[in-house]
Amino acid sequence: MADNRVTFGSKLGVILATVGCAVGLGSVWRFPYMLGTNGGAAFLLVYILFTIFLGLPVMLTEFFVGRHSRSNTVGSFRKLAPGTCWSWIGYNGILAAFLILSYYAVVSGWTLEYVWQTLRGSLYGPGHADYTAGFQTFASDAFRPIFWTAAFVGLTHFVVVSGVDKGIERASKIMMPLLFIILLVMCVRSVTLPDAGEGLRYLFQPDLSKLTSSVVLSALGQAFFTLSLGMGCLITYASYFSKDTDMQATAWQVTVINTFVAVLAGIMIFPAVFSFGITPSAGAELVFITLPNVFEQLPLSFLWSLIFYILLAMAALTSTISLHEVVTAYALEEFHMTRRKAAWIVSVSVFLLGTVSSLSFGPLKEFTIGGLTFFEALDYLTAKIMLPLSGMMTCIFVGTHIDRAVLKAELTNEGSVRFRLFAIYVFFMKYVAPVAIGIVFLNELGLLAWLIG
């Protein structure tokens, strides 16, 4: 790639785009879903530890690779280590982006259904109080959810092709803070429900006996998923950073904002879950069956609900754009096609695969792979295997192939910003992250217990 890549216009633009890519359904939908199926507060604790001690160093490392090489995910490794197999990290990332997008679009589609149901007035009011049944009827339908998946892929496609992402970026300047405010309002409403204390204890009082290998792996997967790590997404974004983007500050800001949103989502969901007698381990539907109960308890429920689901759809859109863009940019640079053609191929394939994920909530429910539905299996494969694995390989790559001085110069903008914890960062990136991720994998496979004895 040429060196005259466009760069993000402003400081705020950098942060917004990166936050937009990170904050999405991962924090608001997947985090409560994972926490609920993994026993509560113990999961939160491990997730936060992973975010700080693995997420941050991996993010900085991806930023380094992206801006230093100024190239896409595959190209960056090729450029930094020509003629080696390291570019496979990039291919892994592109495949992960494609797979994630296919099921992410299904859940994004659900948000559109909830916008629609709110608008039609069929979500609230007499006779509609059973939100669990309502969701299940919808999700197990053979056509409706697929229609919304198509709509969402279409929306993403339109943005990626027409390059209106600048407009989206500007819009998210208003929408992100607004989403934040609504989350706060919902938290207040939720913690003042009867029996809210039980939900808060579930969320914040860790029961360490719940820490199984699969809880730890899930927390690792969630940390990677929600920070958009291990997929080259941040490598691609960082390749558009300018020379004086402060990457350390950006990494901190993205991590803090994202974790904060996830914790808020937890405070919004769990008191309500216990108050309304919902099962915390309900799975992927948890947020969708819980929230309408809370909206119903607010004055002007219609309005809150409408605004909330629109904003959530927008937050999802800024994430699907980033995923789509990674695959499209690779296809067009690698196979020399037009942007339009590359985007079409990606969109159609994503939609077809998404259809299978969507059907796995209904007609294909019985079709399981190792006990997981197709949707769950894709989520497992990407979040819990592909992302941590490629994060680990990226750290090993930078740890072994990049000169410390080069690394430091890039991360401090040639010495113009300080990096007091540089030695600690290098230690975590080079040793702690690869070893810790390796241990989590071995542990989940049961190999660790076997090795130790």
Binding site for ligand TRP (CB under 6 A): 21-22, 24-27, 100, 225-226, 228, 231, 233, 319, 322-323, 387
Min dist CB 22 to ligand TRP, Å, is: 5
Min dist CB 277 to ligand TRP, Å, is: 28
When the beta carbons of 233 and 269 are compared against ligand TRP, the nearer one is: 233
CA distance 228 to 80: 22
When the beta carbons of 123 and 268 are compared against ligand TRP, the nearer one is: 268
When the beta carbons of 293 and 347 are compared against ligand TRP, the nearer one is: 347
Min dist CB 250 to ligand TRP, Å, is: 15
Which residue sits closest to ligand TRP, CB atoms considered? Answer: 26
When the beta carbons of 33 and 225 are compared against ligand TRP, the nearer one is: 225
When the beta carbons of 364 and 387 are compared against ligand TRP, the nearer one is: 387
Min dist CB 231 to ligand TRP, Å, is: 4
Q: 61 with 296: CB under 8 angstroms?
A: no
When the beta carbons of 22 and 311 are compared against ligand TRP, the nearer one is: 22
Min dist CB 450 to ligand TRP, Å, is: 31
Min dist CB 357 to ligand TRP, Å, is: 15
89 phi, psi to nearest 5 deg: -55, -40
Q: 238 with 66: CB under 8 angstroms?
A: yes
When the beta carbons of 98 and 274 are compared against ligand TRP, the nearer one is: 98
Burial class (CB within 10 angstroms; exposed 0-12, middle 13-18, buried 19+) of 443: middle
| 404 Cβ neighbours under 8 A, 6+ residues apart | 426
CA distance 82 to 80: 6
Q: What would the two tokens of residue 251 be? A: 């990494």
Burial 287-304 (b: 16+ CB within 10 A, else e): bbbbbbbbbbbeeebeeb
Min dist CB 35 to ligand TRP, Å, is: 14
Residues facing residue 368 across a β-bridge = 373
234: nearest Cα among 426, 57, 11, 82 = 57
Q: What would the two tokens of residue 35 be? A: 């926490």
Instruction: Return the half-sphere exposure (C-beta side, CA atoms, 13 A cut-off) of residue 215.
Output: 20
- State whether residue 452 is helix, strand or coil: helix
